[in-house]
Structure formats: C-alpha cells, structure tokens
Chain A
C-alpha cells in the first residue's frame, strides 16, 4: 500500500509536532503548513490524501476559508478534511458564518487522543479510496 500523504495545517508548531509523532510511526507521510494560504499552496503542489485543519488560526476564519477554497477547485474537492480545533463545543458555533456551507468530513476537538486520530484518519482514507 502506498504511503498516504497527510497535510497538517495549524499555526501551532507543537500541534504539528504532535501530529508528526503520531502519524509518522504509522507510515503516513506528513507535510505541514502554518496558515490557510500556505496550506492551499501545499494542497496544489503536493496533492495530499487528507488534510488536517485547524479552524482558528491567525484570523478567526482562516481554516474555514481554506476548506471553502478547496471546494472551489474540482481537483481538490475529493480530498477529505479532518477539522481539529480547540473550539470546545457547539457553544462556539456562533463564531461560524451560519449561512455558508462548510465542507468538513470529520470534526475532532483538541487535544486528540492518538488512537482516535489514527482511527478517524484510516476511516476517512478508506471511505474515499
């Protein structure tokens, strides 16, 4: 099986590091980006198999915008997005623009237990395979 490539988009380097520590021993290739713009560029240049995205980066909606931009590009529409964020619960739903479609395949709250993360990733990769 070819090694799946995962793009981690988060402005917190420790979170990226934790992702690497979790994913690399499990035979995933990890690339990272610190902002939505950088993430989009990496999506284009590296075509990852899955994107792990933090919703709130430097600007509150950076992550959301990136997921929307990915939907606009037919080639990247199929890439599953796993949203990981410290937004704790639905109380914070007010942060999101309610009338916009947000494409997310999975939603996990930080901190993510490594086994849960690995399981969700393998589920998502299988469903799109």
Chain B
C-alpha cells in the first residue's frame, strides 16, 4: 500500500530514520531546558507538570522507536524498504500529533513554535515519496486549524501563557485566519520545494549509482578483453619465434655449407653437390616466405578483390592437368569425380585454386608409387563439398589435431618428403574458414587420408 520510491533508497532510509530519533532527543531536551528556563525567568507562566508529562511521553515513544529501529536493522524481511517507509511515516505522524498537543498546552496560536511543523514537512519530503510531503502538510494544517478553531469556539479550553502576548489574541478571528493561512501556505510551499529538491537529489543519486554500476560492468569487460589480448599476444610471440626459427634454419644451413667450401673442408669433387643442396635450401626459404606472405594476407582479410560467384568444379578442372602429370610421374592412379549441376559459391578464384592445389599435391606427395588419389566434388543441402582421398602414409589420431597448425609436419611426412614449409594446410584452413566453411580430416596410419572441405553455397 505504500508507494514505492522510484529506486531503492534503503541505505539512506536506515540512516535518516536514525537521524529522526536523534533529532527527537535533541528537541525534547531543548524543549525541557527552554521550559525550565522560562519557568525560572517567568515563574508560573508555563503549565510545567503537563509539559513534563508531554516530554516524558515523547521520551517514551522515542525509546520505543529506538528499540524498533535496532530490530529493523537486523530484519530478514524480503522488503525492508517498505518497513522503513512505514516506520518513517509513523514517526512523522506521531510527531505532528505530539507537537499539536504540546502547542495546545502552551497557548495554542499564541506560541510561535507552530513553525516547527515545517521541520516535519521537510523531513517527510526528504524521507518519503513526493505525495507524502503534501499529505503531511495537509495533516499538520488540519490538526493545527482544528486546535485553533476549537479553542476559538471554546470547544476546548485555551491555556494562556501569562505575560507572553495579549490573552485575547486567540479570540481575534482575523488574526487567527491570517496565521492559519500563512502557516498552511508555508507548509504547502515548503512541501513543494523540499520534495522537488529531494526528488532531484534522488534522481542524481540514482544516476550516480547506475553509472557506478555500469562502470563496474565496463571494468569487468575491459579486464576480460585485456586477458584475451594478452593471450593473443602470447600466441603471436610464440608464432614469431617459430617463424624466426623456420626462417633462420635454411639460411644457417646455406651459410654452413658456404663456410665449409670457403674454408676448404669440402673436397672439390663434392663441391657441386653441396652447392646444389644450398640452392635447394634457398628455394625452400623462398617458398616459405611466399607461404608466410599468403598466410599474412589471409589473416589481414584486406584483399583487393571482392569474392565473386565461382564454379568450384571449373577451378578444379583448371588444376587437374598439372596434378595428373605429377601423379603419373609418381606412378599414381589419379581420378576426378564431379557431381553435375553444382551451384556456385562466393569466393576468390585464386583462393579456391590454392585450396585444390595444396590438398591434391599433399595427397600426391604423401602417397607411395602405385597408390591412388581420388578427388571428388559433391553437394549437400547447404554446402559444396570437396574431398581429396589418398592411399598414402596416413597419420595417427594424436597427430590429427595439430595438422592445421603452422609449421607442423608429422615425422612420417618429413621422412618421406624433406621439402615442405608446414604452412600448406594452415593456409587451406584459413581460406576455407574465411568463407564461412569448414575443413576436416579422416585418416588411418599406413592406410591413407581423406581431406574434406565444405564451402557454403552462394545465397
């Protein structure tokens, strides 16, 4: 039934209800001291026993509030905010009633302390939603007006403070009306201003809390991104080390050979052979560099040309002549099977050509003479699928996951074919994945391998 605050002021509420209790101690002490002071200076002007009783009542209910507050601080309620709002309401309401009673026994309209109502309206504006400020302004106005009017019509007795102001003042209709108008007007204006300011402050506080929250969220995101970057950076350093090693090896080999020739370690009849070996390493280095460049270009995704609609079968036929010749040189059976009416894919022709060349030349390279290499091209509902199968050396299951890593070559592959950069399959994988496709391998050691790639059909 309580109107909820626009956002949780719960921490503020606990603080402020405590402040109200503190304030009340001060007010009771001050009021008592002032009463005794006045009684001392102007003996018999104040109804001291009644004042002491009222102060005692306020002290008692403030003590009860204090007890309740300490219980409330340890509440396990699901909605502590509602409890605190109810608590604030009770306090303000009881205070307004107590003030009215106090005013009645201290000369009613003659006592300028009726201005104290403003304190409660301000407290309500700070603690509670805006509508409560006006409710309490109305409540205080009605109570005080009722008191003053009841005294005016002598429904209740008027208690005069001797020697303070003219004893007839409460009977002056015009004076009473003007004071009531002034007070009621002041209370409502106070309610309006104080609640407006409180509202702005609450909104600011809310914004601050939200921005703090989003800062925390962003800090978390940044930390995650940072960790990811650190990871990437580590992978990159590792890659650079590998590349450096791979690039250094052929140069070191060539330099060693040349040094040996220059220092006269190589007998003349073997010099030609050593120079040929050096040249082979130089060529290997060139191939490695161009593969690295291709890899870098694929990684940057900054190709000059846009992917176009291409026929994967056309490109396959473009490379088969060369591959057929290589296979025949090695005494391999080479065949190509293409499903008719294949749809086009969106890709760069040079990439697809690279794809076919790398996969088919690998198959030829790692198959012993007399073996078979079969290339097929087919489709499934979403993809055009290329398959290169061989009866070559194959590989062990534990070698397969590393197959597409840069520079990885199996021991068996190295033993069979010295030359090779270890980058061919990395390039193939990058190409396929850059077009949203995938590549996979099935293989059995000594039996052969089957590489398949799927490229999405052009929409």
- A86 to B244 alpha-carbon distance, docked (Å): 9
Verify if B323 is at the interface (C-beta below 8 Å from A).
no
Verify if B414 is at the interface (C-beta below 8 Å from A).
yes
Query: Would A15 and B253 count as touching, CB distance under 8 A?
Result: yes
Name the interface size band of chain B: 20 to 34
- A22 to B378 alpha-carbon distance, docked (Å): 56
Within 8 A of B (CB), among A26-62: 34-35, 56, 58
Verify if A18 is at the interface (C-beta below 8 Å from B).
yes
- A112 to B252 alpha-carbon distance, docked (Å): 8
Verify if B241 is at the interface (C-beta below 8 Å from A).
yes
Output the least CB separation between A9 and chain B (Å). Answer: 14
Output the least CB separation between B385 and chain A (Å). Answer: 32
Output the least CB separation between B318 and chain A (Å). Answer: 35
Output the least CB separation between B282 and chain A (Å). Answer: 11
Output the least CB separation between B75 and chain A (Å). Answer: 54
Within 8 A of A (CB), among B248-265: 248-249, 251-253, 255-257, 259-260, 263, 265
Verify if A14 is at the interface (C-beta below 8 Å from B).
yes
**Most chain B CB atoms below 10 A, which of A21, A25, A35:** A21
Contact with B along A82-110 (1 / 0, CB 8 A): 00001110001011000000000000001
Chain A residues near B248: list those with CB within 8 A.
86, 88, 110
Name the interface size band of chain A: 20 to 34
Output the least CB separation between A56 and chain B (Å). Answer: 6
Chain B residues near A34: list those with CB within 8 A.
414-415
With A12-B253, A110-B248, A110-B252: A18-B241 Cβ-Cβ less than 8 Å: no
Chain A residues near B202: list those with CB within 8 A.
none
Query: Would A112 and B245 count as touching, CB distance under 8 A?
Result: no
- B contact face: mostly helix, strand, loop, or mixed: helix
Verify if B24 is at the interface (C-beta below 8 Å from A).
no
Query: Would B414 and A21 count as touching, CB distance under 8 A?
Result: no
Partner of A21, one of B245, B255, B266: B266
Verify if B418 is at the interface (C-beta below 8 Å from A).
yes
Query: Would B256 and A15 count as touching, CB distance under 8 A?
Result: yes
Output the least CB separation between B279 and chain A (Å). Answer: 11
Verify if A75 is at the interface (C-beta below 8 Å from B).
no
Output the least CB separation between A28 and chain B (Å). Answer: 13
Query: Would B256 and A95 count as touching, CB distance under 8 A?
Result: no
Contact with A along B265-282 (1 / 0, CB 8 A): 110001000100100010
Query: Would B414 and A14 count as touching, CB distance under 8 A?
Result: no
With A88-B244, A110-B248, A113-B259: A11-B414 Cβ-Cβ less than 8 Å: yes
Query: Would A87 and B256 count as touching, CB distance under 8 A?
Result: no
Q: A14-B253, A114-B263 are in contact. List 19 more A-B contacts (CB 8 A).
A: A14-B277, A15-B252, A15-B256, A17-B274, A17-B277, A18-B256, A18-B260, A21-B274, A22-B260, A56-B245, A58-B414, A86-B244, A86-B245, A95-B241, A110-B256, A111-B251, A111-B255, A112-B256, A114-B259
> Closest 10 CB pairs between A and B?
A110-B252, A18-B256, A14-B253, A86-B248, A111-B252, A111-B255, A111-B256, A21-B260, A21-B265, A86-B245
16 cross-chain CB contacts under 8 A: A13-B418, A14-B256, A21-B265, A22-B265, A34-B415, A58-B411, A86-B245, A86-B248, A87-B245, A92-B241, A94-B237, A110-B252, A111-B255, A112-B256, A113-B259, A114-B263
Binding site for B on A (CB under 8 A): 11-15, 17-18, 21-22, 25, 34-35, 56, 58, 86-88, 92, 94-95, 110-115
